[in-house]
Amino acid sequence: MPQAPRTLGLRLVKGDINGFIALSIDNLSVLALFAAVLIRGFGVPGEIVLGRMIPGTAFGVLVGDALYCWLAVRLARREGRGDVTAMPFGLDTPSTIGMGLLVLGPAFAHWRAGGLGPQAAALRTWDLGMASTVIMGLLKLPLSFVGRRLGRLVPRAGLLGSLAGIALLLIGFLPFVELMREPIVGFLSLGLVLYALVAKGSVPARLPAVLFAVLAGTFAHYLLAATTGAGVAAGVPIAAHFAPQWPTPDRGMFGAFGAATAYLPLLVPFALLTVIGGVNNTESARAAGDDYDVRSILLAEAVATLAAGLLGGVAQTTPYIGHPAYKEMGARSAYTLLAGLVIGIGGTFGVVADLLRWVPLAALAPVLIFVAIDITTQAFRAVPARHAAAVAFAFFPSIARMVTIELSDPKFASPRRFAALLAATSATRPSTLETIVALGNGFIVTATIWGAFLAEMIDRRTGAAVAFLVAGATLCAFGVMHSVRADGGVYLPWALPAGERFEVVQYCGAYLVLAVVLAGLAAIDRRSRAPQRR
pLDDT digits (tens, 9 = 90+) for 515-530: 999 999 988 888 887 6
Strands (E), 272-400: 317-319
* Predicted pLDDT at 106: 86
d(CA 104, CA 119): 14
So what's the pLDDT on residue 4? 44
pTM: 0.75
Angle between helices 14-36 and 54-79 (to 10 degrees): 150
- Residue bearing the bigger pLDDT, 215 or 421: 215
CB distance 461 to 469 below 8 Å: no
In percent, the amount of the chain with pLDDT more than 70 equals: 87
Which has more confidence, 12 or 107? 107
Q: Report the range out of 142-156, 258-272, 404-418, 424-438 with the highest average pLDDT.
A: 258-272
Alpha-carbon dihedral 170, 153, 265, 88, rounded to 10 degrees: -50
**Can you tell me the distance from the alpha carbon of 342 to that of 346, in angstroms, rounded to the nearest whole number?**
5
Contact 369, 175 (CB under 8 A): yes
Mean pLDDT taken over the chain? 82
Instruction: Kindly tell me if the per-residue pLDDT of 260 is higher than 80.
Output: yes
Kindly state the average pLDDT of the residues 421-438. 72
Residue 94, SS3 per DSSP: helix
Structure letter (DSSP) for residue 473: H
The CA distance from 38 to 123, in Å, is 13
The 10s digit of each residue's pLDDT in 28-50 is 878 887 888 898 778 899 888 88
Helix H or strand E segment including 89: strand 89-91
Instruction: Determine the angle formed by the axes of helices 415-423 and 105-113, rounding to 10 degrees.
Output: 90
Q: For residue 122, what pLDDT is reported?
A: 92
Angle, CA of 56, 62 and 64, to the nearest 5°: 105
Please write the tens of the pLDDT for every residue from 152-206: 777 888 877 887 887 788 778 877 887 888 899 999 999 998 998 788 888 887 7
